[in-house]
A and B are shown apart, each in its own frame.
Chain A
Amino acid sequence: MDRQIRVRIACTIALLAAACASAQAQERKYPSRPVDMIVNFGPGGGADQLGRIMSKLLEPVLGVPVPVSNIAGASGNAGLSKVLGSTPDGYTLGTLTGLSVSAWAGGLGKLQIRDFAFIAVVQSSPSMLFVPNDSRILDYRRMLDAAKANPGKLRVATAGYGTLDDIAVKFLATKGFPMVNVPFAKPGERYMSPLGGHSEILFEEPGDVVQFIDSKQYRPIVVFGARRHPAFPDTPASGEFGHDVDLPNWRAIVAAAKVPADTLAALNAAVAKALDSPDWRKFCGETYTCIERKSPEESRQFAQRNYDDVSKFMKDYGMIK
């Protein structure tokens, strides 16, 4: 009996040694095993859609599986920490959203832009205000009038305090249109609130409420930024009212900053190919998030600029010191 075990153990060790040797040989070509795609929010949201579509498009390009895993928590920081904590060998990618970056600006966690290698910023969406279709608030102008006439009466359903949503509400308050920020822990609850008549206005990016726009439950009344969005030609931009506040929510594919340069180049090329596919064009069109192609360097600068903008707003409005 004993000898049998010893033989077995010896066999196993020999097998493993051989495997190690062959593994070493294979390790030269990237990628030679599955590449993990870490989505830093739970299933069902915008980051999840991006991760899953990207995984589907990257698999044929890279020639290996790209399994998606959701690591939600702490405004997206949990998943990003996992990206940084894994071996920087290009086998762990992650989604990074403007939402998390504004949370950093608000002082949450210790992550920084420079911790990440930006493969590309692939989506950017304007922020908009919506009202239920049968709302008495017919347009942005009338919303502003109502806010001025009844300070603190209009309620805006948002994703929380210290977010882009919060900045928008505070910005309007400084312009003389005070409204109440009603934060919700879960998107579903937030969408229900104005629909049920429990609050009046919804702050959201259009891609997350497509089903409500298409089914005429919600209608947009303003897009924040200088220019109108091509998909909503009838919806005025806040810039037309002198409200110069641009609050895009963008999404990027990132890796840890320490990933070797040639691996990054391979990843860039792969993502570029994915972005050229008709599937991607369809996806970004449907979610109103198409943007011009950005190089890694442009992407990093874009993220940094966004961080600086948000920090400035937060300082101006006393949200951070």
Chain B
Amino acid sequence: MEALAGFANGMVVALQPLHLALMIVGVLVGVIAGALPGISFVNAMAISLPFTYLMSPLVAMVFLGGIYVGGVFGGSISSLLVNIPGDPDSLPSCWDGYPITLRDGPERSLSIAITASAIGGLFSAFLLSFASPPFARLALSFDQPEFFAATFMGLVSVLSISKGNLLLSLLSLFLGVAIGSIGTDPLYGVTRLTFGIGLLDNGIDFVVVMIGLFAIGEVIDALASRQGYDFNVKRKGAMKVLGLRDIWKLRGSISRGTGVGSVIGIIPGAGAAVGALVAYGVERQVNRRRSEFGTGIEDGLAAPEASKNATTGTAMIPLLTLGIPGSAGAAIMLAALTLHGVQPGPLLYSKNPEMLYAIFASFTLANLFMVAISVLVARAFGMLMKTDPTVICAFIVVFSVVGAFGVRNNIADVYICLGFGIAGFYMKRFGFPTAPLVLGVILGPLAESYFLTSMANYHDDLSIFFTRPRSGALMALAFGFIFWALAPELRAVWRRVRG
């Protein structure tokens, strides 16, 4: 009851004109930055940090929270309209989302995405508002073996995105993990696999790889393609929030996605991209129509969409209740708070609950406003796509370059991004799968550091991943998926051997 009253008071504060206005500006900035291929919302948040000096801590949080919520969705707009993920977390949305766009028009795919994201985000915001303390306890009960097991689940989901050729997908995944391990290792500080090239010392960030493979690669394809290229997809109907009947049809995937995302959000270092990937993988394993995934199955779009926005609220829980940032976005909010001399953590609850509840309420509102703002931005984006594709491509290249640079303000990342762009084009041309590679680059470094720390913490006992209950359950699930996915292949081999 106390929480409800606090939330109501928070809502009053969040609805004050200044707070509301900056939240809306934040969501708008986030959606646009997310939608621009190359520019990620984390970029936008880091860039906005100096502007928050001028604001009160609450306003700063409301503003950054808006960018965060909007940005996590925004990437899907370009995923669905032009098949180029605007942000890493929108990559899985391309796989079933873009086929829906082609078949039923962008209105349908965008409607599903926006609705699923908003439901996931709202649920997560409610968890943040009313279930922070138990979730914080849950977060603390997880240790490195659990993180490793969750990451392993994510890696296993590659089996679900392989289209026919499992070995080739596995090869691509392992190559991705190897690429992710280039550079200085996380615990010893030894540089590896750099071949003496100094530019590689800092390693290869997955955002840079993704921008290269998908944005630059696509642009090269468009330029060299003979039959002409058009980013302008035909509209078929109007964009709207899904009706209850449609939502009911997608209830399974949306609730699974929301659940997966809510839990992954509290894992430090994981975030929206991992949430979306794991949700897609899980959906692909448990959905009734799993064999048709990749051809435009609506559940295959709804699950990752719900999941990635469901990470936003719960990622704030460790930050606000414990003072521990759960994602790159949350780390920037921590920076904003500490700059104002506000120390997040349990003290915030006792000392300044009004501010906390205002942040909760604002997060909830941001998920609602995200719907309207996304529709507007998607419209504008659709309009922009009517210009000459050559001009669009030219600007996509520049945005990609700036985005790659902005990841760490490092020119090496621009070279790496362009390199992966060229490689990406040829991979696409020769039918080498790119998605598992990106998955490997995203999850590989996480898996390595979780593994090494687990080993250090548990006296080099490899069985720890299976004997700790939560981690063991996750591992069992992962191995179940592996056998499930391999079954048809094994059966074929068996038949062959016998016959």
Contacts of A181 in B (CB 8 A): 456
Could you tell me the distance in whole angstroms from the C-beta of A192 to the nearest C-beta in chain B?
A: 6
Q: Let me know if B326 is at the binding interface, CB within 8 A.
A: yes
Asked if B379 is at the interface of the complex by the 8 Å CB criterion, the answer is no
Closest to B201 in A: A74
Task: Judge if A82 is at the interface, Cβ distance under 8 Å.
Answer: yes
- Number of contacting residues on B, CB 8 A? 50
Give the docked Cα–Cα distance between A183 and B144 (Å).
Answer: 11
Shortest distance in angstroms between A43's beta carbon and chain B's nearest beta carbon?
A: 4
Q: Which of B189, B324, B326, B409 has the most CB of A within 10 A?
A: B189
Q: Output the least CB separation between A123 and chain B (Å).
A: 14
Interface status of A75 (Cβ within 8 A of chain B): yes
9 closest A-B pairs by CB: A73-B202, A211-B343, A196-B140, A185-B449, A185-B186, A211-B323, A211-B345, A198-B143, A188-B268
With A43-B332, A78-B201 as given contacts, are A189 and B268 in contact (CB-CB < 8 Å)?
yes
7 contacting pairs across A/B (C-beta < 8 A)? A43-B46, A43-B49, A49-B338, A70-B409, A182-B453, A188-B331, A217-B322
Any A CB within 8 A of the CB of B410: yes
A-facing residues in B323-369 (Cβ within 8 Å): 323-326, 331-332, 334-335, 338-339, 341, 343-347
Residue B296 at the chain A interface, CB threshold 8 Å = no
List of A residues within 8 angstroms of B452 by Cβ: 183
* B201 A191 Cβ-Cβ under 8 A: no
Q: Is B50 an interface residue (CB 8 A)?
A: yes
Consensus secondary structure, chain A interface: mixed
Q: Are B457 and A193 in contact (CB under 8 A)?
A: yes
Determine the residue in chain A with the shortest Cβ distance to B345: A211
**Contact partners of B189 in chain A: CB under 8 A:** 75, 103, 106, 108, 160-163
Number of A-B contacts (CB under 8 A): 154
Contact of A44 among B140, B332, B409, B456 (CB under 8 A): B332
Contact with B along A102-121 (1 / 0, CB 8 A): 01001011000000000000
| Bound form: Cα–Cα A77–B184 in Å | 11
- Distance of A56 Cα from B15 Cα, bound (Å): 30
Is B74 engaged at the interface, CB distance under 8 Å to the other chain?
A: no
A160 touches B143 (CB 8 A): no
Using CB atoms, name the residue of chain B closest to A160.
Answer: B187
Contacts beyond the supplied A69-B409, A195-B140, A211-B345: 6 A-B pairs with Cβ under 8 Å: A68-B49, A106-B189, A108-B184, A183-B453, A184-B453, A215-B346
Given contacts A44-B332, A189-B268, A195-B322, contact A161 B188 (CB under 8 A): yes
Instruction: Tell me the chain B residues, 138-191 only, with Cβ under 8 Å from chain A.
Output: 139-144, 147, 183-184, 186-189, 191
Mask, A268-301, CB within 8 Å of B = 1, is: 0000000000000010001000000000000000
Q: Which chain B residues in 476-493 approach chain A with CB under 8 Å?
A: none
Taking a contact as CB atoms under 8 Å apart, the answer to whether B324 and A78 are in contact is no
Which partner residue on chain B sits nearest A216 by CB separation?
Answer: B346
Chain B min CB distance to A180 (Å)? 7
A72 interface hit (Cβ, 8 Å): yes
Residues 268-283 of chain B: 1 if any A CB is under 8 Å from the residue's CB, otherwise 0?
Answer: 1100000000000000
Given contacts A73-B203, A108-B189, are A189 and B50 in contact (CB under 8 A)?
A: no
Docked-complex contact B409 and A160, CB < 8 angstroms: no
CB distance from A92 to the nearest CB of B (A): 12
Chain A hits for B269, CB < 8 A: 185-186, 188-189
Task: Contact check, B184 vs A192: say whether CB atoms are below 8 A apart.
Answer: no
Contact indicator A78/B453 (Cβ below 8 Å) = no
A74 touching B408 in the complex, CB below 8 Å, given contacts A109-B201, A160-B188, A161-B189: no
Choose one: B186, B346, B456; the contact of A182 (CB below 8 Å): B456
Closest to B350 in A: A215
B331 A43 Cβ-Cβ under 8 A: yes
Report yes or no: A212 in contact with B345, Cβ–Cβ below 8 A.
Answer: yes
- A44 engages B335 (CB within 8 Å): yes
* Least distance between A223 CB and chain B CB atoms (Å): 21
Q: How large is the interface on A (under 10, 10 to 19, 20 to 34, 35 or more residues)?
A: 35 or more
Task: Specify which chain A residues have a CB less than 8 angstroms from the CB of B339 in the assembled complex.
Answer: 49, 52-53
Task: Say how far A56's CB is from chain B's closest CB, in angstroms.
Answer: 6
Mark B181-212 against chain A: 1 for CB-CB distance below 8 A, else 0.
Answer: 00110111101000000000111000000000
In the complex, A151 has a CB within 8 A of chain B? no
Interface residues, chain A, CB within 8 Å of chain B?
38, 42-44, 48-49, 52-53, 55-56, 67-75, 77-78, 82, 103, 106, 108-109, 152, 155, 160-163, 180-186, 188-189, 191-193, 195-199, 210-212, 214-215, 217, 282, 286
Give the residues in chain A near B120, CB-CB below 8 Å.
Answer: none
Contacts of B453 in A (CB 8 A): 182-185, 189
Closest to A36 in B: B409
Q: A67-B50, A188-B326, A193-B143 are in contact. Are A214 and B268 (CB under 8 A)?
A: no
B57 neighbours in A (Cβ, 8 Å): none
Most chain B CB neighbours (cut-off 10 Å) among A68, A69, A185, A199: A185
Q: Tell me if B53 is interfacial: C-beta within 8 Å of chain A.
A: yes
Contact B324 A188 (CB under 8 A): yes
Docked complex Cα distance between A212 and B343 (Å): 9
Check B6 for interface membership: any CB of A closer than 8 A: no
List the B side residues contacting A52 at CB < 8 Å: 49-50, 53, 335, 339
Given A108-B184, A186-B269, A48:B143 Cβ within 8 A: no
With contacts A75-B184, A183-B187 taken as known, whether A191 is within 8 angstroms of B324 at the C-beta atoms is yes
Given contacts A67-B50, A162-B189, A215-B345, contact A72 B408 (CB under 8 A): yes
> In the complex, A53→B340 CA distance in Å?
10
Task: Name the interface residues of B442-459: CB closer than 8 Å to any CB of A.
Answer: 449, 452-453, 456-457, 459
| CB-based contact B335/A214 at 8 Å | no
In contact, B201 and A188 (Cβ under 8 angstroms): no
Q: Which of A162, A184, A195 has the most CB of B within 10 A?
A: A184
CB distance from A209 to the nearest CB of B (A): 8
Please measure, in the bound complex, the distance between the C-alpha atom of A55 and the C-alpha atom of B53, giving whole angstroms: 11
B144 with A198: CB separation less than 8 A: yes
Which chain B residue lies CB-closest to A103? B189
Do A56 and B53 contact each other (CB < 8 Å), given the known contacts A160-B186, A189-B453, A195-B322?
A: yes
Q: How far is the CA of A77 from the CA of B324 in the complex (A)?
A: 25
| Smallest CB gap from B142: residue in A | A196
User: Which of B141, B142, B324 has the most chain A CB within a 10 Å cutoff?
Assistant: B324
Choose among B143, B144, B201, B318 the residue that contacts A73 (Cβ–Cβ < 8 A).
B201
Q: How far is the CB of B359 from chain A (nearest CB, A)?
A: 16
How far is it, in angstroms, between the C-alpha of A180 and the C-alpha of B461 when the chains are bound?
14
